[in-house]
Amino acid sequence: MTAYMIRTPTKGLVELSKKELIEKWAQQDGAAHQDHKLDEEYITARDSGIFIGGLPANAMELKVTTNTILHVAEKFLEELKERKILE
């Protein structure tokens, strides 16, 4: 699924999937690993000045994706508890 599209200075219009956005975010700004070479798509989106609900647009996309994953995980764990698989 597409996370966002951004026009970059050297590559033009670039489309990033949710997976690519998460990978780029982890590589650029993640605590476990930081790749200090600039990733043009990620940096352009991060520094674009576009905000949604007070967050940079790419951060809002990460928040929405994270909330979805947490919701699915909670439902999965509830189902395991109901089936007495997980106690």
- d(Cα 5, Cα 33) in Å, to the nearest integer? 25
Is residue 47 in some structural domain?
A: yes
pLDDT given at position 10? 92
Residue with tokens 């476990």: 32
Which residues, at least 6 apart from 79, have a Cβ–Cβ distance to it below 8 Å?
none
Is residue 29 in some structural domain?
A: yes
Residue 48 structural domain: 2-82
Categorize the per-residue pLDDT at 36 as very low, low, confident or very high, splitting at 50, 70 and 90: low
Indicate the average pLDDT of the chain.
86
Is residue 87 in some structural domain?
A: no
Is residue 7 in some structural domain?
A: yes
What sign does the dihedral 45-47-52-58 (CA atoms) show? Answer: positive
Categorize the per-residue pLDDT at 31 as very low, low, confident or very high, splitting at 50, 70 and 90: low
Is residue 76 in some structural domain?
A: yes
* Of 77 and 29, the one with more pLDDT: 77
Is residue 21 in some structural domain?
A: yes
The pTM score is: 0.68
Q: What percentage of the chain reaches a pLDDT higher than 90?
A: 36
* Number of structural domains the chain divides into: 1
Kindly report, residue by residue over 6-23, the tens digit of the pLDDT: 899 999 999 999 999 888
List the structure tokens of 46: 């991060």
Residue from 41, 48, 9, 44 nearest 23 by CA: 41
